[in-house]
Amino acid sequence: MQDTPTLTDAVVQNLFQTLGLWAATIIVLGIGLYLLLKLYLIPSEVNKKTAKIKSALAKEQFIHRLQFEKEFEIYQKLWKKLVDLKDATEMLMPIMDYNEPGKTEEETRKIRLKKTQAAYIEVRKAINYNKPFFAKEVYTNANNILSKSLRQALASQYPGRHVEEFLKRFEEAQKRTDDILKIIDEIDKSIRTRILNIGKAKLIE
Protein backbone atom coordinates (compact mmCIF):
# COMPACT_ATOMS: atom_id res chain seq x y z
CA MET A 1 0.00 0.00 0.00
CA GLN A 2 1.50 3.34 -1.07
CA ASP A 3 2.01 6.13 1.47
CA THR A 4 -0.34 9.06 1.12
CA PRO A 5 1.49 12.46 0.97
CA THR A 6 0.97 14.32 4.19
CA LEU A 7 0.54 18.04 4.80
CA THR A 8 4.07 18.23 6.18
CA ASP A 9 5.57 16.85 2.97
CA ALA A 10 3.72 19.48 0.94
CA VAL A 11 4.96 22.28 3.18
CA VAL A 12 8.55 21.08 2.93
CA GLN A 13 8.29 20.76 -0.83
CA ASN A 14 6.89 24.28 -1.14
CA LEU A 15 9.63 25.58 1.13
CA PHE A 16 12.36 24.05 -1.02
CA GLN A 17 10.74 25.45 -4.14
CA THR A 18 10.57 28.89 -2.56
CA LEU A 19 14.20 28.70 -1.42
CA GLY A 20 15.25 27.60 -4.88
CA LEU A 21 13.40 30.51 -6.41
CA TRP A 22 15.01 32.93 -3.98
CA ALA A 23 18.44 31.46 -4.65
CA ALA A 24 17.94 31.79 -8.40
CA THR A 25 16.75 35.36 -7.90
CA ILE A 26 19.80 36.22 -5.77
CA ILE A 27 22.13 34.69 -8.37
CA VAL A 28 20.46 36.66 -11.15
CA LEU A 29 20.65 39.86 -9.11
CA GLY A 30 24.32 39.16 -8.31
CA ILE A 31 25.15 38.67 -11.97
CA GLY A 32 23.21 41.78 -12.85
CA LEU A 33 25.05 43.82 -10.19
CA TYR A 34 28.40 42.51 -11.41
CA LEU A 35 27.57 43.46 -14.99
CA LEU A 36 26.43 46.89 -13.80
CA LEU A 37 29.71 47.46 -12.00
CA LYS A 38 31.71 46.23 -14.94
CA LEU A 39 29.83 48.24 -17.54
CA TYR A 40 29.42 51.53 -15.65
CA LEU A 41 31.27 51.93 -12.40
CA ILE A 42 34.63 50.39 -13.36
CA PRO A 43 34.93 52.36 -16.64
CA SER A 44 33.98 55.46 -14.66
CA GLU A 45 36.98 54.94 -12.35
CA VAL A 46 39.22 54.40 -15.34
CA ASN A 47 37.90 57.59 -16.91
CA LYS A 48 38.57 59.48 -13.69
CA LYS A 49 42.17 58.27 -13.60
CA THR A 50 42.60 59.09 -17.28
CA ALA A 51 41.17 62.56 -16.75
CA LYS A 52 43.53 63.09 -13.79
CA ILE A 53 46.55 62.10 -15.88
CA LYS A 54 45.46 64.37 -18.75
CA SER A 55 44.96 67.23 -16.30
CA ALA A 56 48.48 66.79 -14.90
CA LEU A 57 49.97 66.69 -18.40
CA ALA A 58 47.96 69.76 -19.41
CA LYS A 59 49.34 71.65 -16.41
CA GLU A 60 52.86 70.57 -17.36
CA GLN A 61 52.28 71.78 -20.90
CA PHE A 62 50.98 75.11 -19.59
CA ILE A 63 54.04 75.57 -17.39
CA HIS A 64 56.40 74.74 -20.27
CA ARG A 65 54.62 77.24 -22.50
CA LEU A 66 54.83 80.01 -19.89
CA GLN A 67 58.50 79.23 -19.30
CA PHE A 68 59.23 79.30 -23.01
CA GLU A 69 57.41 82.60 -23.52
CA LYS A 70 59.11 84.22 -20.52
CA GLU A 71 62.60 83.04 -21.43
CA PHE A 72 62.17 83.98 -25.08
CA GLU A 73 61.07 87.49 -24.08
CA ILE A 74 63.96 88.15 -21.68
CA TYR A 75 66.52 86.62 -24.09
CA GLN A 76 65.36 88.97 -26.83
CA LYS A 77 65.71 91.99 -24.54
CA LEU A 78 69.03 90.83 -23.12
CA TRP A 79 70.51 90.20 -26.56
CA LYS A 80 69.78 93.76 -27.72
CA LYS A 81 71.34 95.19 -24.56
CA LEU A 82 74.41 92.97 -24.96
CA VAL A 83 74.95 94.19 -28.51
CA ASP A 84 74.61 97.82 -27.35
CA LEU A 85 77.19 97.17 -24.62
CA LYS A 86 79.56 95.50 -27.09
CA ASP A 87 79.31 98.43 -29.51
CA ALA A 88 79.85 100.99 -26.76
CA THR A 89 82.81 99.05 -25.33
CA GLU A 90 84.48 98.75 -28.74
CA MET A 91 84.32 102.53 -29.18
CA LEU A 92 86.31 103.11 -26.00
CA MET A 93 89.51 102.22 -27.87
CA PRO A 94 88.64 101.78 -31.55
CA ILE A 95 91.12 100.86 -34.29
CA MET A 96 90.30 103.98 -36.34
CA ASP A 97 89.74 106.66 -33.74
CA TYR A 98 88.12 110.05 -34.21
CA ASN A 99 86.64 112.78 -32.07
CA GLU A 100 82.91 113.41 -31.87
CA PRO A 101 81.89 116.40 -34.06
CA GLY A 102 82.74 119.65 -32.31
CA LYS A 103 84.22 117.86 -29.30
CA THR A 104 87.75 117.62 -27.96
CA GLU A 105 89.51 114.31 -27.37
CA GLU A 106 88.72 114.49 -23.66
CA GLU A 107 85.07 115.34 -24.31
CA THR A 108 84.83 112.47 -26.81
CA ARG A 109 86.29 110.06 -24.27
CA LYS A 110 83.77 111.16 -21.64
CA ILE A 111 80.85 110.78 -24.09
CA ARG A 112 81.92 107.24 -24.95
CA LEU A 113 82.42 106.33 -21.32
CA LYS A 114 78.95 107.64 -20.55
CA LYS A 115 77.43 105.50 -23.33
CA THR A 116 79.32 102.46 -22.09
CA GLN A 117 78.21 103.12 -18.53
CA ALA A 118 74.56 103.42 -19.61
CA ALA A 119 74.78 100.19 -21.66
CA TYR A 120 76.53 98.45 -18.75
CA ILE A 121 73.78 99.46 -16.33
CA GLU A 122 71.05 98.25 -18.71
CA VAL A 123 72.66 94.80 -19.02
CA ARG A 124 73.21 94.55 -15.28
CA LYS A 125 69.57 95.46 -14.58
CA ALA A 126 68.32 92.95 -17.15
CA ILE A 127 70.41 90.22 -15.53
CA ASN A 128 69.47 91.02 -11.94
CA TYR A 129 65.76 91.55 -12.62
CA ASN A 130 65.40 88.25 -14.49
CA LYS A 131 67.90 86.01 -12.68
CA PRO A 132 65.31 83.32 -11.75
CA PHE A 133 64.32 82.91 -15.39
CA PHE A 134 67.77 82.56 -16.94
CA ALA A 135 69.35 79.26 -17.78
CA LYS A 136 72.42 78.88 -15.58
CA GLU A 137 74.94 79.06 -18.43
CA VAL A 138 73.32 82.22 -19.86
CA TYR A 139 73.39 83.95 -16.47
CA THR A 140 77.04 83.01 -15.86
CA ASN A 141 78.23 84.22 -19.27
CA ALA A 142 76.21 87.43 -19.08
CA ASN A 143 77.91 88.26 -15.77
CA ASN A 144 81.29 87.58 -17.40
CA ILE A 145 80.39 90.16 -20.05
CA LEU A 146 79.84 92.76 -17.33
CA SER A 147 83.21 92.00 -15.78
CA LYS A 148 85.08 92.25 -19.09
CA SER A 149 83.29 95.44 -20.08
CA LEU A 150 84.09 97.10 -16.76
CA ARG A 151 87.78 96.26 -17.13
CA GLN A 152 87.72 97.71 -20.64
CA ALA A 153 86.13 100.94 -19.42
CA LEU A 154 88.70 101.32 -16.65
CA ALA A 155 91.60 100.68 -19.04
CA SER A 156 90.31 103.31 -21.51
CA GLN A 157 90.34 106.08 -18.92
CA TYR A 158 94.14 106.14 -18.77
CA PRO A 159 95.43 105.92 -22.36
CA GLY A 160 99.18 105.79 -22.91
CA ARG A 161 100.98 108.97 -23.97
CA HIS A 162 103.45 107.24 -26.29
CA VAL A 163 102.63 105.25 -29.43
CA GLU A 164 104.31 102.07 -28.18
CA GLU A 165 102.52 102.21 -24.86
CA PHE A 166 99.21 102.96 -26.57
CA LEU A 167 99.61 100.04 -28.98
CA LYS A 168 100.35 97.74 -26.08
CA ARG A 169 97.28 98.94 -24.25
CA PHE A 170 95.27 98.66 -27.45
CA GLU A 171 96.33 95.03 -27.93
CA GLU A 172 95.27 94.30 -24.37
CA ALA A 173 91.97 96.08 -24.97
CA GLN A 174 91.45 94.20 -28.22
CA LYS A 175 92.02 90.91 -26.42
CA ARG A 176 89.35 91.82 -23.90
CA THR A 177 87.02 92.77 -26.76
CA ASP A 178 87.68 89.38 -28.36
CA ASP A 179 86.93 87.72 -25.04
CA ILE A 180 83.63 89.60 -24.89
CA LEU A 181 82.74 88.47 -28.41
CA LYS A 182 83.56 84.86 -27.55
CA ILE A 183 81.36 84.99 -24.47
CA ILE A 184 78.53 86.56 -26.48
CA ASP A 185 78.84 83.70 -28.96
CA GLU A 186 78.57 81.25 -26.07
CA ILE A 187 75.46 83.06 -24.83
CA ASP A 188 74.00 82.84 -28.32
CA LYS A 189 74.58 79.07 -28.38
CA SER A 190 73.14 78.70 -24.88
CA ILE A 191 70.01 80.66 -25.79
CA ARG A 192 69.45 78.68 -28.98
CA THR A 193 69.96 75.35 -27.18
CA ARG A 194 67.68 76.37 -24.33
CA ILE A 195 64.86 77.48 -26.61
CA LEU A 196 65.22 74.31 -28.71
CA ASN A 197 64.95 72.10 -25.63
CA ILE A 198 61.90 73.93 -24.32
CA GLY A 199 60.29 73.77 -27.76
CA LYS A 200 60.59 69.96 -27.66
CA ALA A 201 58.42 69.73 -24.52
CA LYS A 202 55.65 67.12 -24.76
CA LEU A 203 52.32 68.63 -25.81
CA ILE A 204 48.79 67.34 -25.24
CA GLU A 205 46.69 66.95 -28.36
pTM of the model: 0.56
Q: How far apart are CA 17 and CA 21, in angstroms?
A: 6
Which amino acid would we find at residue 125?
Answer: K
pLDDT, tens digit only, all 205 positions of the chain: 445 555 566 665 666 677 667 777 778 777 777 766 666 665 666 567 777 777 766 766 766 677 778 788 888 899 999 999 999 998 887 777 777 778 787 888 888 899 999 999 999 999 888 887 788 888 888 888 988 888 888 777 765 555 566 667 777 777 877 788 788 878 878 887 777 676 565 444 4
109: nearest Cα among 118, 98, 120: 98
Cα–Cα distance, 115 to 93 (Å, whole number): 13
Contacts of 153 (CB under 8 A, 6+ apart): 89, 92, 113, 116, 117, 120
Residues 126, 77 contacting (CB under 8 angstroms): yes
Amino acid making up residue 166: F
CATH topology of domain 57-199: Four Helix Bundle (Hemerythrin (Met), subunit A) (1.20.120)
